[in-house]
Chains A and B, each alone.
Chain A
Amino acid sequence: MRLTVAGKTKDYEDGITVAKLIELENVETPEYVTVTVNDEFVESGDFGNTVLKDGDTVEFLYFMGGGSIAQHTDRN
């Protein structure tokens, strides 16, 4: 089946789950990634039982810090 993952259309094995796709795509920090399928959020608890189908669009959204410290921190 054909999926569009992070903007790129590729062929995948039929019937894979979001959890399997996360593994195949080597998603960094998979526990903290936000996933959307066809512009809807998939709860992380549902990654294993959300089966993808031909034509689905999947996005991975990652936490990204950066910039400058502007909140109190226990610095040494």
Chain B
Amino acid sequence: MAFTNEQLERYSRHIILKEVGAKGQKKLSQAKVLIIGAGGLGAPAALYLAAAGVGTIGIVDADEVDLSNLQRQVIHATADIGKPKVQSAKETMEAINPDITVNTYHTFVTSENVMDLIKDYDFILDGTDNFPAKFLINDACVMAKKPFSHAGIIRFKGQLMTYVPGQGPCYRCVFKNPPPKDAVPTCRQAGVIGAMGGVIGSLQAMEAVKYIVGAGDLLTGYLLTFDALKMEWHKVKLPPDTSKCAVCGNHPTITELIDYEQIECTEH
């Protein structure tokens, strides 16, 4: 499939990059990325991936757009309040780029559906806000051998890491088990500065694009943290030994997906 003149113009700033080129842009158009959570992180990630021409983008979210979401979830507008977030996101993405296909999944992720949701995708973005979902996505991606980007944001801080099978630690290597309910503050309880989703969600999109086109080094084996109040980035090297991990290690003790008790962090 050759690019049309319109596509050559649309993607010209990508194609001119030696790390992308026409070849990389073609890879993007053939790639499939799944975004779990159309909120603070997923919204900016979805916008950039749509604009970048990622051919198939899936979005999973069970929620409807709420007024309190609009401070940071920039893919939704005031007129979308009450609409399923996946629908609102799809409309915005298709308005930006009619070349792409957006698949919507108006559901929560559970141990029952997560393998099915991720199976057709090349790269997964974890844009969820709660630890049961984060552990579930990690374990499912490890078991299905899918690369994914983990991210979290709270107050004026954010962090992310990338997992690629066989290329370094998974989320559970670093954080063994979800914290008990209400043990660590959540966005609803603690707040989050709106632009933080833009900073960290955009970096998740960046990792997806780099993975697809094969450019540079991914955040595998590192956790990148950002403190906006101090305007400081810190790239933490993670211990490279994954052999003892309960899910990605040599002798995994977690061989089935777990639905942990949901912590209280609705965005309402």
Contacts and interface: CB of A to CB of B under 8 A. Distances in A.
Q: Do A and B come from one complex?
A: yes
B186 A65 contact: yes
A14 to B, nearest CB: 25
Interface in A38-76: 39-41, 59, 61-75
A38 B132 CA distance: 29
A7 to B, nearest CB: 5
A46 to B, nearest CB: 14
B130 A69 contact: yes
A63 B175 contact: yes
Question: Interface on chain A toward B: helix, strand, loop, or mixed SS?
Answer: loop
A68 B183 contact: no
Interface residues of A, number: 26
Contacts of A39: 237-240
Contacts of B179: 29, 32, 63
Contact of B265 (A6, A34, A65): A65
A29 B185 CA distance: 9
B184 A68 contact: no
A31 interface: yes
A10 to B, nearest CB: 15
B234 A69 contact: no
Ranked nearest first, the 5 interchain pairs of A and B with the lowest CB-CB distance are: A68-B39, A64-B152, A66-B153, A68-B37, A71-B133
